[in-house]
């Protein structure tokens, strides 16, 4: 299986995502993790630019955290259509109307697992559930309010159960 991991805005999410992906893979999978331009420069985060950097990848699964979910939506606009998607910490507070529409379209077109903290300050589980009401997305609530999602063992358990 080819997995694309799309980290969050902060470069520290790379190590977090590597730890998570190693817990959901058995070592026989190819994992790609991009390095975002704003980590190396004074430029602002730019999901469109980041999507341009990975748009040609052929993957079986995308695991996206926070800003990575925005990059994924841009990838979908460019025609990348991964068969399965895991979204962690969807930052609804930062989503535009177009991104909200893109998220609804995403979950209606492919298998999607959404993991959201109960009181995530960037968008609570209830807000995400209300937005995706009636969709076929698998929504999983985890405790927390800090948008960090530090319990990678719990996340891996949820993801592995969904993949099986």
**Residues 23, 153 contacting (CB under 8 angstroms):** yes
Q: What is d(CA 6, CA 14) in angstroms, rounded to the nearest whole number?
A: 8
Q: What is d(CA 121, CA 103) in angstroms, rounded to the nearest whole number?
A: 19
Helix (H) or strand (E) holding 109: helix 97-109
User: pTM score > 0.85 for this model?
Assistant: yes
pLDDT in tens, the chain (164 residues): 899 999 999 999 999 999 999 988 766 788 999 999 999 998 999 999 999 988 667 889 999 999 999 999 999 988 888 899 999 999 999 999 999 999 999 999 899 999 999 999 999 999 999 999 999 999 999 999 999 999 999 999 999 999 98
**Residues 2, 29 contacting (CB under 8 angstroms):** yes
């Amino acid at each position: 299986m080819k997995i694309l991991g799309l980290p969050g805005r902060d470069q520290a999410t790379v190590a977090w995502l590597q730890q998570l992906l190693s817990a959901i893979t058995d070592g026989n999978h190819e994992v790609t993790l991009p390095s975002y331009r704003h980590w190396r420069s004074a430029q602002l985060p730019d999901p469109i630019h980041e999507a341009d950097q990975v748009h040609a990848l052929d993957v079986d699964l995308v695991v996206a955290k926070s800003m990575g979910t925005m990059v994924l939506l841009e990838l979908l606009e460019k025609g990348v259509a991964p068969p399965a998607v895991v979204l962690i910490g969807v930052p609804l507070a930062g989503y535009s109307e177009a991104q909200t529409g893109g998220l609804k379209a995403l979950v209606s077109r492919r298998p999607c697992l959404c993991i959201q903290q109960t009181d995530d300050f960037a968008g609570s589980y209830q807000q995400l559930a209300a937005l995706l009401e009636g969709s076929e997305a698998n929504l999983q609530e985890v405790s927390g309010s800090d948008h960090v999602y530090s319990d990678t063992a719990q996340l891996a358990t949820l993801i592995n159960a969904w993949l099986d």
